[in-house]
Amino acid sequence: MKLTPDSKVIIQGFCEYISATHVAQMKAYGTNLVAGVDPGFGGQELLYSLPVFDLVEQVIERFGVIDTTIICVHPYQVLDAALEAIASGIRQIIIISPGVPPLDMVQLLRKAEATETLVVGPNSPGIIVPGKILLGIQPNEFYTPGPVGILSRSTTLTYEIARELTQAALGQSISVSIGSDAVVGSSFIQWLQILDEDETTQVIVLVGQPGGGREEEAARYIIEAIDKPVVAYIAGTKAPPVQHWRQTGTLAAVVGRDPDFGTAQSKVAALNAVRVPVAERPSQIPELVRKVMR
């Protein structure tokens, strides 16, 4: 994984999921954003003099190896864009677009696993390493460098919690949202391992929400393999149990399961069972972080 200021970054596609403001924010933050790819618009300069190419391979010919691509195309075009990036040797993919067809993601993940490609998203605001690099649409004004790693499924909750930590003088080492579509690329488990091995991260904040069993799997992994302290927050504990979270809960994921499978209460119980402190609201997270750091 390469997340440094000299990492070469491109954007594939310019649609409603990313704006000129986001591009300007990344460039102002020091992200080495070298080009965009948008078929039919090659040869133009768009969004703050960013050169645009028709194909990823044309970018490679011009700038050499690219470390990360940020994909912002229509959900039904994400698979083609990601496969094009992988074929061009890009091994870090961030998918901003929401609603990617699940079978497309299954095909992409098979290819990503075979090529050792890290996929974040879909439906993710991206990654930020405060003070170093911004990849995506996270609002960098909520972040400051420090020892707390944030790992989330949510979009807005990710930077809401960063804001709570920053206001409490607790900076962040890295913040990543793995995405909240039904099928996503990298998992909680994968990122827990990354943060556990990261020298700048002292505490991990895990942010979950109803749907699926990712938090329960993460809880089991924490007790088995993670050495650093973990603090958690689960959204939706007060939501009516009959309500389904459209982007995270699918019929296929709950058929034949325990009635409590995928509920916020199930996730809180799993984390409590492995002695991970769970905040009742985001404002409690700084207090819990300080406590486990002591």
pLDDT in tens, 138-181: 999 999 999 999 999 999 999 999 999 999 999 999 999 999 89
81 touches 71 (CB < 8 A): yes
- How much is the pLDDT for 80? 98
In the sheet with 172-177, reading across from the earlier edge strand, the strands are: 133-136, 126-129, 172-177, 145-152, 203-208, 230-234, 278-279
- Sign of the torsion angle spanned by Cα atoms 60, 65, 71, 74: positive
φ/ψ of residue 43, rounded to 5: 95, -10
CATH number, domain 139-293: 3.40.50.261
pLDDT for 2 beyond 60:
yes
Amino acid at 228: K
Domains 8-120 and 139-293 share a fold: yes
User: Taking the domains of the chain in order of start, what are their residue ranges?
Assistant: 8-120, 139-293
How far is residue 199's CA from residue 228's CA, in Å, rounded to a whole number? 11
- How much is the pLDDT for 249? 47
The rounded mean pLDDT for the chain is 92
Can you tell me whether residue 166 is helix, strand or coil? helix
The domain defined by 8-120 folds into: Rossmann fold (3.40.50)
Q: Model confidence over 90-142: pLDDT tens digits?
A: 999 999 999 999 999 999 999 999 999 999 999 999 999 999 999 999 999 99
Token pair listed for 5? 């200021």
Give whole-number Cα distances, 78 to 8, 17, 105, 178, in Å: 20, 13, 9, 16
- How much is the pLDDT for 102? 95
- Angle at which helix 188-197 crosses helix 214-225, to 10 degrees, equals 30
Measure the CA angle with vertex 195, ends 127 and 133; round to 5°. Answer: 30
86 touches 109 (CB < 8 A): no
185 touches 157 (CB < 8 A): no
φ/ψ of residue 131, rounded to 5: 85, -5
Size of the chain in residues: 294
- How much is the pLDDT for 10? 97
Q: Does the pTM of the predicted model rise above 0.85?
A: yes
Can you tell me whether residue 231 is helix, strand or coil? strand
pLDDT for 20 beyond 90:
no
